Amino acid sequence: MTSPQIPANENIAPSAANQENEVAAPHAEVTLPAEASKEMLQQDEINRLNEEVSRIKDQWVRAVAEAENTRKRAQRDQEETSRYAVTAFAQDMVNVLENLKRASESIPEAARAENELLKTMGQGVDLTLQELLSIFQKYNINRIDPLDKKFDHNFHQAVVQVERDDVPPGTVVQVVQAGYIIHDRLLRPAMVVVSKNGDPAKKVDTSA
Protein backbone atom coordinates (compact mmCIF):
# COMPACT_ATOMS: atom_id res chain seq x y z
CA MET A 1 0.00 0.00 0.00
CA THR A 2 1.35 3.33 -1.09
CA SER A 3 1.55 6.06 1.61
CA PRO A 4 -0.11 9.38 0.76
CA GLN A 5 2.28 12.05 -0.59
CA ILE A 6 2.22 15.61 0.69
CA PRO A 7 2.17 18.19 -2.03
CA ALA A 8 5.50 19.92 -2.54
CA ASN A 9 4.02 23.40 -2.23
CA GLU A 10 2.58 22.65 1.19
CA ASN A 11 5.98 21.49 2.52
CA ILE A 12 7.99 24.45 1.15
CA ALA A 13 5.62 27.32 1.92
CA PRO A 14 5.48 26.93 5.71
CA SER A 15 9.25 26.53 5.83
CA ALA A 16 9.82 29.75 3.89
CA ALA A 17 7.39 31.62 6.08
CA ASN A 18 9.15 30.38 9.18
CA GLN A 19 12.51 31.45 7.79
CA GLU A 20 11.18 34.94 7.03
CA ASN A 21 9.85 35.25 10.59
CA GLU A 22 13.13 34.04 12.03
CA VAL A 23 15.10 36.65 10.02
CA ALA A 24 12.65 39.53 10.54
CA ALA A 25 12.41 39.14 14.29
CA PRO A 26 16.11 39.60 15.05
CA HIS A 27 16.25 42.54 12.61
CA ALA A 28 13.46 44.37 14.52
CA GLU A 29 15.12 43.79 17.90
CA VAL A 30 18.44 45.39 16.69
CA THR A 31 16.89 48.46 15.01
CA LEU A 32 14.82 49.80 17.93
CA PRO A 33 17.62 49.93 20.53
CA ALA A 34 19.92 51.62 18.00
CA GLU A 35 17.43 54.44 17.42
CA ALA A 36 16.92 54.90 21.17
CA SER A 37 20.68 54.99 21.70
CA LYS A 38 21.04 57.62 18.99
CA GLU A 39 18.38 59.79 20.66
CA MET A 40 20.12 59.40 24.02
CA LEU A 41 23.43 60.46 22.50
CA GLN A 42 21.79 63.48 20.92
CA GLN A 43 20.17 64.46 24.24
CA ASP A 44 23.52 64.06 26.04
CA GLU A 45 25.14 66.32 23.46
CA ILE A 46 22.38 68.91 23.88
CA ASN A 47 22.81 68.82 27.67
CA ARG A 48 26.57 69.19 27.31
CA LEU A 49 26.18 72.15 24.96
CA ASN A 50 23.66 73.78 27.33
CA GLU A 51 26.09 73.40 30.22
CA GLU A 52 28.87 74.88 28.09
CA VAL A 53 26.67 77.83 27.13
CA SER A 54 25.77 78.41 30.81
CA ARG A 55 29.45 78.27 31.79
CA ILE A 56 30.46 80.74 29.08
CA LYS A 57 27.55 83.03 29.97
CA ASP A 58 28.56 82.96 33.65
CA GLN A 59 32.16 83.81 32.72
CA TRP A 60 30.95 86.64 30.52
CA VAL A 61 28.73 88.09 33.28
CA ARG A 62 31.62 87.90 35.74
CA ALA A 63 33.99 89.56 33.27
CA VAL A 64 31.52 92.39 32.62
CA ALA A 65 30.96 92.91 36.35
CA GLU A 66 34.70 92.95 37.04
CA ALA A 67 35.27 95.43 34.21
CA GLU A 68 32.54 97.69 35.61
CA ASN A 69 33.99 97.49 39.12
CA THR A 70 37.43 98.33 37.75
CA ARG A 71 36.01 101.31 35.88
CA LYS A 72 34.22 102.58 39.00
CA ARG A 73 37.35 102.16 41.14
CA ALA A 74 39.41 104.06 38.59
CA GLN A 75 36.79 106.81 38.48
CA ARG A 76 36.73 107.06 42.28
CA ASP A 77 40.52 107.18 42.42
CA GLN A 78 40.57 109.91 39.80
CA GLU A 79 37.95 111.94 41.67
CA GLU A 80 39.83 111.41 44.94
CA THR A 81 43.08 112.56 43.37
CA SER A 82 41.38 115.58 41.85
CA ARG A 83 39.68 116.59 45.10
CA TYR A 84 42.76 116.35 47.28
CA ALA A 85 45.49 117.20 44.77
CA VAL A 86 46.11 120.58 46.45
CA THR A 87 46.31 119.19 49.99
CA ALA A 88 50.06 119.65 50.44
CA PHE A 89 49.94 123.14 48.91
CA ALA A 90 46.94 124.10 51.04
CA GLN A 91 48.72 123.01 54.23
CA ASP A 92 51.41 125.59 53.48
CA MET A 93 48.97 128.30 52.41
CA VAL A 94 46.89 128.18 55.59
CA ASN A 95 49.81 129.74 57.44
CA VAL A 96 49.85 132.59 54.92
CA LEU A 97 46.13 133.12 55.40
CA GLU A 98 46.47 133.14 59.19
CA ASN A 99 49.30 135.70 58.99
CA LEU A 100 47.20 137.93 56.74
CA LYS A 101 44.26 137.61 59.13
CA ARG A 102 46.42 138.61 62.08
CA ALA A 103 47.88 141.53 60.12
CA SER A 104 44.40 142.77 59.23
CA GLU A 105 43.22 142.51 62.85
CA SER A 106 46.31 144.34 64.09
CA ILE A 107 45.26 147.55 62.30
CA PRO A 108 42.17 148.81 64.15
CA GLU A 109 39.58 150.94 62.44
CA ALA A 110 40.40 153.96 64.63
CA ALA A 111 44.05 153.89 63.60
CA ARG A 112 43.06 153.57 59.95
CA ALA A 113 40.80 156.58 60.19
CA GLU A 114 43.57 158.71 61.67
CA ASN A 115 46.40 157.58 59.40
CA GLU A 116 46.02 157.46 55.62
CA LEU A 117 49.02 155.16 55.22
CA LEU A 118 47.65 152.64 57.73
CA LYS A 119 44.30 152.86 56.01
CA THR A 120 45.82 152.06 52.61
CA MET A 121 47.93 149.24 54.02
CA GLY A 122 44.95 147.82 55.86
CA GLN A 123 42.83 147.86 52.72
CA GLY A 124 45.58 146.07 50.78
CA VAL A 125 45.87 143.38 53.44
CA ASP A 126 42.10 142.98 53.58
CA LEU A 127 41.79 142.61 49.81
CA THR A 128 44.57 140.02 49.74
CA LEU A 129 42.95 138.14 52.60
CA GLN A 130 39.54 138.12 50.88
CA GLU A 131 41.06 136.91 47.61
CA LEU A 132 42.85 134.09 49.38
CA LEU A 133 39.65 133.13 51.20
CA SER A 134 37.83 133.02 47.85
CA ILE A 135 40.48 130.66 46.49
CA PHE A 136 40.11 128.47 49.57
CA GLN A 137 36.35 128.34 49.06
CA LYS A 138 36.86 127.41 45.40
CA TYR A 139 38.76 124.30 46.50
CA ASN A 140 36.38 123.67 49.41
CA ILE A 141 38.94 124.51 52.09
CA ASN A 142 37.19 125.76 55.22
CA ARG A 143 38.47 127.32 58.44
CA ILE A 144 37.67 125.75 61.82
CA ASP A 145 37.17 128.24 64.66
CA PRO A 146 35.45 126.22 67.43
CA LEU A 147 35.34 128.84 70.19
CA ASP A 148 32.58 128.11 72.75
CA LYS A 149 31.80 124.80 71.02
CA LYS A 150 32.02 121.25 72.29
CA PHE A 151 35.46 119.70 71.94
CA ASP A 152 35.64 117.24 69.04
CA HIS A 153 38.75 115.07 68.85
CA ASN A 154 38.12 114.53 65.13
CA PHE A 155 38.85 118.20 64.39
CA HIS A 156 40.40 119.67 67.52
CA GLN A 157 43.60 119.13 69.46
CA ALA A 158 43.65 120.15 73.11
CA VAL A 159 46.86 121.85 74.19
CA VAL A 160 45.76 122.41 77.78
CA GLN A 161 42.76 122.07 80.09
CA VAL A 162 41.66 124.81 82.45
CA GLU A 163 39.21 124.74 85.34
CA ARG A 164 36.04 126.63 84.47
CA ASP A 165 32.78 126.67 86.39
CA ASP A 166 30.93 129.01 84.03
CA VAL A 167 30.85 126.61 81.07
CA PRO A 168 30.22 122.87 80.75
CA PRO A 169 33.30 120.65 80.88
CA GLY A 170 34.76 119.88 77.47
CA THR A 171 33.99 123.31 76.03
CA VAL A 172 36.54 125.10 73.86
CA VAL A 173 37.29 128.33 75.75
CA GLN A 174 40.20 129.51 73.62
CA VAL A 175 41.47 128.87 70.09
CA VAL A 176 45.26 128.98 69.98
CA GLN A 177 45.43 128.10 66.29
CA ALA A 178 42.55 127.74 63.87
CA GLY A 179 42.08 124.45 62.06
CA TYR A 180 41.22 123.69 58.43
CA ILE A 181 39.44 120.97 56.50
CA ILE A 182 39.49 120.22 52.77
CA HIS A 183 36.19 118.76 51.59
CA ASP A 184 35.48 116.23 54.39
CA ARG A 185 39.12 115.55 55.27
CA LEU A 186 41.04 117.20 58.09
CA LEU A 187 43.79 119.45 56.79
CA ARG A 188 44.99 120.81 60.11
CA PRO A 189 43.43 120.36 63.57
CA ALA A 190 42.44 123.39 65.60
CA MET A 191 44.72 123.87 68.64
CA VAL A 192 42.40 124.70 71.53
CA VAL A 193 42.11 125.20 75.27
CA VAL A 194 39.38 123.05 76.83
CA SER A 195 37.47 123.55 80.06
CA LYS A 196 37.22 121.02 82.86
CA ASN A 197 35.48 120.87 86.24
CA GLY A 198 37.22 122.49 89.17
CA ASP A 199 38.39 120.46 92.16
CA PRO A 200 35.37 120.15 94.50
CA ALA A 201 37.73 119.90 97.50
CA LYS A 202 38.96 123.43 96.83
CA LYS A 203 35.49 124.94 96.75
CA VAL A 204 34.39 126.72 99.92
CA ASP A 205 30.74 126.86 100.87
CA THR A 206 29.98 130.52 101.65
CA SER A 207 26.22 130.19 101.86
CA ALA A 208 26.18 129.90 105.69
Taking residues 106-125, what's their average pLDDT? 92
User: What are the b/e assignments for 140-168, b being 16+ CB within 10 Å?
Assistant: ebebbebeebebeeebbebeeeeebeeee
pLDDT at 98: 93
* pLDDT > 60? residue 207: no
- In this prediction, residue 12 has a pLDDT band, given cuts at 50, 70 and 90, of very low
pLDDT at 84: 83
Q: What is the DSSP letter of 138?
A: H
Pick the closest to residue 149 from 195, 189, 95 (CA basis). 195
Taking residues 131-139, what's their average pLDDT? 93
> Domain 143-203, CATH 3.60.20.10 — does that match?
no
pLDDT at 197: 85
Residues contacting residue 126 through CB under 8 Å, at least 6 positions apart: 104
